[in-house]
Amino acid sequence: MSVRIALAGNPNSGKTTLFNALTGSNQFVGNWPGVTVEKKEGRLKGHKEVTIVDLPGIYSLSPYTLEEVVARRFLLEEKPDVILNIVDGTNLERNLYLSTQLLELGIPVVLAVNMLDLLEKSGDQVHIGKLKEKLGCEAVEISALKGNGVMKAAEKALSLAREKKAAPKPCPFQSRVEESLLRVQEELKGMVPEEQKRYFAIKLLERDEQIQKLLPRAVDAGGEIARLEEDMDDDTESIITNERYQYISSIMQDCCRKAARKDTLTLSDKIDKIVTNRILALPIFAVIMFLVYYVSVTTVGDWLTGWTNDTLFGEWIVPGVSSGLAAIHCADWLTSLVADGIVAGVGAVLGFVPQMLVLFLFLAVLESCGYMARVAFIMDRIFRKFGLSGKSFIPMLIGSGCGVPGIMASRTIESDRDRKMTIMTTTFVPCGAKLPIIALIAGAFFGNAGWVAWSAYFVGIAAIVCSGIILKKTRMFAGDPAPFVMELPAYHLPTPGNVLRSMWERGWSFIKKAGTVILLSSIVLWFLQGFGWVDGRFGMLEAEQLENSILAYIGNGIAWMFAPLGWTQGGEGWKMAVAAVTGLIAKENVVTTFGILFGYAEVAEDGAEIWTRLSAVMTGAAAYGFLVFNLLCAPCFAAMGAIKREMNNAKWFWFAIGYQCGLAYLVSLCIYQLGTWVTTGAFGPGTVIAILVVLGFFYLLLRPAREGSRRPAGMKMAAGGR
Amino acid sequence: MKTLKEVPAGQTATVRRLGGDGAVRRRIMDMGITKGVSVFVRKTAPLGDPIEVTVRGYELSLRKADAAMIEVG
């Protein structure tokens, strides 16, 4: 008989560790349908027929967060055979709050009380037998970390499921509340299964809007709610929460014996005293962030990526495959497809993996040791102004090295809205691959002036800040900011097994989900770039013949779109368009493409050879606009793949890409039009449009919202106002 | 009425009433800040917001704006 066990528990209760201990390597990671919440399933070790579903870490079954809704829906609609509820023994009171709700679902529950070994060190005691008796459900003492009692808990759950044990008795409330519940339950007669009645009744009393949808016809609990609130002088949601905590407090008195506290600080307290100290917190934060960046982006990560791209793929695999295919007299186009299209495309995916694994290793350590929560605690004040989370800092920092791991780092943000906003804006920070474009434009137009580079970062940051302010006022992001009521878990020493597993899971999900997008788009662009018409005949092109390619034709076709951006002087606008498009493979390609289009097979990284040619076809204003366009528009395919993976939703993916391209276009339009106006005094219809765009921008930025949005310092003014 | 926001770091206060509504309020209650519970204010974040409190034996952080909805006595 196949059995399904749902694993439920608070965040930081050791749930992931327990899940890993129960299932070993037998796991499938995916997403809950339609949302960005991760879903994990696994088979119980030694029991092929037993599936364990790891529910998201939650504190309650309220209807307000995505994780809670997902968990509720699963428990209610898919009715697992048994719930294995892991509770943190060192934090029993709050952990049992979720248990009181799980006990109402009409499903057998086994309580796995974790970390009691830690508790006993401090002298406190929890009496498991009494806990069992009071709660009326099975309870097992475990140590998920050491693996003690873990299988015993699972087997207990299994036997409950097999014996089809009746559901446990839910925790009782005081008589006045029970009366109301009984009356609502009467109303529910025949509408829901007997064992779920209490749950539905409680949710109806709590005015839970989502619960009505699950009922065959509307049930009006309004009268009952009004009477109960009148009698108890409080709102029903508070009444029920209070009842639960009161019940828990009464149990705690019987089951727990607290050692006499000698007001000594625990090790975790001592660490926290230093790490979030008023004066030391920011320096420590800066040092940790610098270390993460330095190792995962500039040193180890860069070496690994450089080695994978240049040596492994550049020198060994691609030439090896090419010569191998040449040796067997493969057709030229096929050789090129395999070597330059597919293998190079795969390389583009895999090239990021080593660097990403290094970063994920850090993130896993920061998360499991408890510092990540402190990052949010320290940075929240700044980031929440822009509709972002304090944890958005890390994606943006990493994004200045490479946007792909930056986007993937947004995983650590709990709030769905903050996460989406972070994913959309992270790539505005100039990444390493955009530096050659900056060098090219600075060298060709502005005498290598330093301000070009730092203004690029300023534009990036301004784009994030302004996007945050503008987007959080739109309907898609509207509503109250995500509540920042966050547990600061005790510091733990991370376990290597969990850290490595988390690193690998994230890396693998990038390869699997983002890989396909990157590979496909690389092949398509390879085709557009490598094929075209020479002397009226369609065929494969040499690299120098890029101007005959399909891509060049497309570039010619869409060049008019970029006329308002000033990319058209000398009829060479299509070159800019083509260069910008090839930047989708990797941003540094923009420079190489210019080189080829201006007749150089190879150029230096900053494209010094083509500086004079380039400055002849664009004005300074247009060139700066071109730079900004490339900084803000859709990132490379790899980053787009990461966005798609993280959004997990086609609509949001296209919205993100569309927003980025639209913003890039408008900003660069304003830079060119206003820049031209300021430098040459030429005033035309374009200038009027640009002024309107700027006005519209200020309207969107400054229109009323709950919080006063300061910072009108426009990115357009600062960037284009020379 | 005094709110949790006004309680200086290092002091303990007892929750009297919860203001606000919707998700934030429910979340605050779910995390154990309910009527009658005592809350110890540990510290303020380095940039002045949010604050860190100890409630029901664990550490919780919440913004000052939300703390202002919690009346204490």
Give strand pairing partners of A84.
A7, A110
Quick check: A718 pLDDT over 60? no
Q: What is the mean pLDDT of chain A?
A: 85
ipTM of the complex, rounded to two decimals: 0.95
Using a CB-CB distance cutoff of 8 angstroms, which residues of chain A are in contact with residue B46? 276-279, 281-282, 378
What is the SS3 assignment for A43?
strand
Which of B43, B50, B60 has its CB closest to that of A380? B50
| Closest-approach residue (CA) in chain A for B32 | A94
* pLDDT, tens only, A180-229: 999 999 988 888 888 888 999 999 999 888 888 888 888 888 889 999 99
Residues 6+ apart with CB under 8 A from A34: A648, A649
Confidence of residue A536 (pLDDT cuts 50, 70, 90): confident
Quick check: A54 pLDDT over 90? yes
Whether residue A489 is preceded by a cis peptide bond, meaning omega within 30 degrees of 0, is no
The domain locations on chain A are 3-162, 175-257
Query: Treating both helix axes as pointing N-terminal to C-terminal, what angle do A281-293 and A267-275 enclose, rounded to 10 degrees?
Result: 90
- Write down the architecture of domain A3-162 according to CATH: 3-Layer(aba) Sandwich (3.40)
- Closest by CA to A203, choosing from A223, A186, A231, A225, is A225
Using a CB-CB distance cutoff of 8 angstroms, which residues of chain A are in contact with residue B29? 237-238, 241
Quick check: A581 pLDDT over 80? yes
Q: What is the mean pLDDT of residues A69-82?
A: 91
- Other Cβ atoms within 10 Å of A108 Cβ, number: 24
CA–CA gap between residue B51 and residue A491 (Å, rounded): 18
Quick check: A537 pLDDT over 60? yes
Residue A675 is predicted with a pLDDT of 92
Which of B27, B43, B44 has its CB closest to that of A483? B27
Residue A26 is predicted with a pLDDT of 78
- C-alpha distances in angstroms, A536 versus A260, A279, A548, A572? 92, 72, 10, 22
Quick check: A713 pLDDT over 50? no
Q: Greater confidence, A515 or A601?
A: A515
* Partner B, chain A 478-517, Cβ-Cβ below 8 Å: 480, 483-490
DSSP symbols for A648-709: -SHHHHHHHHHHHHHHHHHHHHHHHHHHHHHHH----HHHHHHHHHHHHHHHHHHS--SS--
| Closest-approach residue (CA) in chain A for B51 | A377
* pLDDT, tens only, A426-485: 999 988 888 888 988 998 899 888 888 889 989 999 999 999 888 888 877 776 566 788
Contact by Cβ (8 Å): A113, A131? yes
Residue A577 is predicted with a pLDDT of 86
| Closest-approach residue (CA) in chain B for A206 | B26
Say yes or no for a CB contact (<8 Å) between A487 and B30.
Answer: no
* pLDDT, tens only, A280-321: 888 998 898 888 888 877 788 778 878 887 888 878 888 888
Pick the CATH number of A175-257 from 1.10.287.1770, 2.40.50.100, 3.30.70.100, 1.10.1200.10: 1.10.287.1770
Residue A711 is predicted with a pLDDT of 33
Q: What is the mean pLDDT of residues B63-73?
A: 91
Quick check: A244 pLDDT over 70? yes
**Whole-angstrom distance between the N-terminal and C-terminal Cα of chain B?**
8
CA–CA gap between residue A644 and residue A520 (Å, rounded): 14
All domains of chain B, ordered by start, with CATH?
4-57 (2.30.30.90)
Dihedral of the alpha carbons of A703, A706, A708, A711, in degrees to the nearest 10: -60
Residue A260 is predicted with a pLDDT of 64
CA–CA gap between residue A10 and residue A13 (Å, rounded): 6
Rounded to a whole number of angstroms, the distance from the CA of B38 to the nearest CA of chain A is 13
A-B CB pairs within 8 A amount to 116
Q: Which two tokens stand for residue A642?
A: 């990461």
Query: Treating both helix axes as pointing N-terminal to C-terminal, what angle do A197-205 and A236-255 enclose, rounded to 10 degrees?
Result: 120
CA–CA gap between residue A461 and residue A470 (Å, rounded): 14
Sheet with strand A82-88: strands edge to edge: A27-31, A38-43, A50-54, A3-9, A82-88, A109-114, A138-141
Which of A59, A60, A242 has its CB closest to that of B34? A242
pTM: 0.82
Task: Report the share of chain A in percent with pLDDT over 90.
Answer: 28
Contact by Cβ (8 Å): A301, A359? yes
Residue A480 is predicted with a pLDDT of 59
CA–CA gap between residue A402 and residue A123 (Å, rounded): 48
